[in-house]
């Protein structure tokens, strides 16, 4: 056994999210029975090796003995702890802000009306094109720090505010630099299929071909996933299929912004192309959700977005209870539809507006969120061999963390065995 560099002792309640074997822990929890499992341990401790991986996790009396004179011991003072949160859907790197849109929306304009008029996503495209990499880095780095303060240790980051190769690449370069400079794990997604620039509307087929040409470059720049905004008035299901199949052929994994406003077949497409996740899904059909479950697609709910856009939230209860889906939650942090890095708020809204139980919310924010970025074998579960990414709270119990909402109860955050917050 490797030397124990760090011992986090005296954890009153630890939700490991482990189901037992390594094999079982390499996949998401699906449906009501599984999503209640949190792998609870009382009076627990975690031993971490010199490489930032978990050497042992279990009852204090067994784990404590692994420490030696050189081990740093942290007394958690009976606190509640869980795996570091994975935020599996963000638009982390972008320029500018969009507070100017709220009065328009409150006066009755729809999110897609604003986009059609050249605002919305297109406003952020202009701001991102005009920002130099240093500005984008400083802004995204501050956001990442805020995310860490809420317990987020791994983040998915999308492009999609370039809509032409140079700016899409600039977004990836900034995210690559952040991955080097920050302790967080970053997972990158190429989203040139986020909107059709108004100047390209007349030849939209050509823009779709341009996207297909951009994907190999973005993939070799570090984008592991490709994503597309499949929605009435944005990309059609046929266009989404064409783009995502092209991405798949070059070895990219797939995600979809699916059925956010209108039920247009996005969930069905996610199942058909074998996407790792389909996200939003406010208007997804029962059939589409059923097909996603069959195909093993993770359903990512974004309750902050439905709250901010004042829309009826996704049907998480149907997804879990009826469709038997693996549900994850994400912030969707972006300047237009979810301008907040507060993952604690995402989790509270998962309880309050999606109707999930505290157990389901924590599973959706850890283990299942890891599966949504194809990291189920690495992140989201505390077990020997995994990265020592974890959160310690100042709260009497997990339900308190969610119900005493809008403020952070995070005491400290560890990434790879290093304290990065608190």
Sequence-distant (≥ 6) Cβ neighbours of residue 133 within 8 angstroms: 170, 173, 174, 177
x/- binding map, residues 229-258, to ligand NIG, per CB under 6 A? Answer: x---------------------------x-
Count residues binding ligand NIG (CB under 6 A): 13
CA nearest to 308, candidates 278, 281, 331, 327: 331
Q: What six digits make up the tokens of 21? A: 């074997």
* 74-113: contacts with ligand NIG (CB under 6 A): 91
Q: Answer with the entry of ligand NIG, Fe ion, none that 335 interacts with (C-beta below 5 to 8 A by kind).
A: ligand NIG
Q: Which position's Cβ is nearest ligand NIG?
A: 336
Q: Are 111 and 262 in contact (CB under 8 A)?
A: no
> In terms of Cα–Cα distance, which of 239, 245, 243 is closest to 264?
239
| Whether 336 contacts 409, CB under 8 Å | no
Minimum distance, C-beta of residue 344 to Fe ion, in the bound complex (Å): 19
Q: Checking DSSP bridges between strand 40-49 and strand 4-15, what pairing results, if any?
A: antiparallel
Name the minimum Å distance from CB 336 to ligand NIG.
2
CA-nearest of 302, 309, 352, 378 to 90 is: 302
Q: What angle do CA 89, 273, 284 make, to 5 degrees?
A: 60
Contacts with ligand NIG, 212-231, as mask; x by CB under 6 A: -----------------x--
180-219 mask for ligand NIG (x: CB under 6 A)?
----------------------------------------
E strands present in 64-197:
72-83, 85-87, 152-158, 185-193
Q: How far is the CB of 329 from Fe ion (least distance, A)?
A: 13
Establish if 332 lies at the interface with Fe ion (CB under 5 A).
yes
Stretch that binds ligand NIG, among 132-140, 207-215, 317-325, 334-342 (CB under 6 A): 334-342
We find the least distance from the C-beta atom of residue 99 to ligand NIG, in angstroms, to be: 13
Does 266 interact with ligand NIG (rule: CB under 6 A)? no
Residue 376, token pair as written in the block: 């189920």
Q: CB-wise, 8 or 228, nearer to ligand NIG? A: 228
Instruction: Confirm or reject binding of residue 120 to ligand NIG (CB under 6 A).
Output: yes
Shortest approach of ligand NIG to residue 101 CB, angstroms? 9
SS3 per residue for 75-92: EEEEEEEEECEEECCCCC
The minimum distance between CB 356 and Fe ion, in angstroms, equals 20
Closer by beta carbon to ligand NIG, 239 or else 389:
239
Q: Which is nearer to ligand NIG, 84 or 119 (CB)?
A: 119
Our CB check for ligand NIG shows the closer of 268 and 279 to be 279
Q: How far is 179 from 291, CA to CA, in rounded Å?
A: 35
Q: Could you say whether residue 336 binds ligand NIG (CB under 6 A)?
A: yes
How far apart, in whole angstroms, are the C-alpha atoms of residue 327 and residue 289?
11
* 48 dihedral zone (left: phi>0; alpha: psi -120 to 50; beta): beta
List residues near ligand NIG by CB under 6 A.
Answer: 91, 120-121, 124, 229, 257, 260, 305, 332, 334-337
């Amino acid at each position: 056994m490797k030397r124990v560099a760090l011992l986090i002792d005296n954890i009153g309640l630890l939700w490991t999210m482990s189901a037992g074997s390594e094999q079982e822990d390499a996949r998401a929890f699906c449906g009501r029975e599984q999503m209640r499992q949190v792998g609870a341990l009382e009076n627990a401790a975690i031993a971490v090796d010199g490489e930032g991986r978990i050497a042992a996790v279990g009852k204090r009396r067994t784990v404590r003995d692994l420490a030696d004179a050189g081990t740093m011991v942290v007394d958690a003072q009976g606190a509640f702890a869980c795996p570091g949160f994975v935020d599996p859907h963000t638009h982390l790197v972008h320029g500018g802000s969009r507070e100017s849109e709220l009065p328009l929306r409150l006066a009755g304009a729809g999110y897609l009306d604003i986009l059609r008029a050249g605002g919305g996503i297109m406003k952020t495209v202009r701001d991102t094109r005009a920002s130099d990499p240093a500005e984008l880095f400083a802004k995204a780095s501050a956001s990442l720090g805020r995310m860490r303060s809420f317990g987020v240790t791994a983040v998915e980051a999308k492009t999609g505010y370039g809509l032409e190769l140079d700016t899409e690449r600039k977004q990836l370069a900034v995210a690559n630099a952040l991955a080097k400079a920050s302790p967080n794990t970053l997972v990158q997604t190429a989203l040139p299929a986020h909107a059709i620039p108004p100047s390209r509307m007349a030849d939209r087929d050509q823009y779709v071909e341009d996207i297909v040409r951009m994907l190999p470059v973005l993939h070799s720049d570090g984008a592991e996933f490709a994503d597309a905004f499949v929605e009435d008035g944005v990309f059609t299901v046929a266009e989404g299929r064409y783009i995502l199949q092209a991405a798949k052929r070059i070895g990219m994994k797939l995600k979809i912004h699916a059925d956010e406003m209108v039920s247009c077949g996005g969930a069905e497409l996610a199942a058909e192309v074998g996407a790792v996740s389909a996200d939003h899904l406010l208007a997804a059909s029962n059939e589409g959700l059923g097909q996603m479950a069959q195909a093993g697609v993770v359903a990512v709910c974004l309750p902050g977005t439905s709250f901010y856009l004042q829309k009826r939230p996704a049907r998480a209860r149907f997804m879990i209870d009826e469709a038997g889906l693996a549900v994850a939650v994400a912030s969707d942090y972006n300047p237009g539809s979810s301008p907040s890095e507060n993952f604690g708020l995402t989790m509270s809204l998962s309880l309050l507006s999606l109707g999930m139980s505290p157990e389901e919310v924590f599973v959706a924010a850890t283990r299942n969120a890891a599966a949504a970025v194809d990291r189920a074998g690495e992140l989201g579960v505390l077990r020997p061999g995994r990265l020592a990414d974890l959160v310690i709270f100042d709260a009497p119990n997990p339900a308190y963390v969610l119900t005493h909402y809008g403020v952070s109860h995070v005491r400290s955050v560890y990434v790879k065995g290093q304290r990065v917050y608190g």
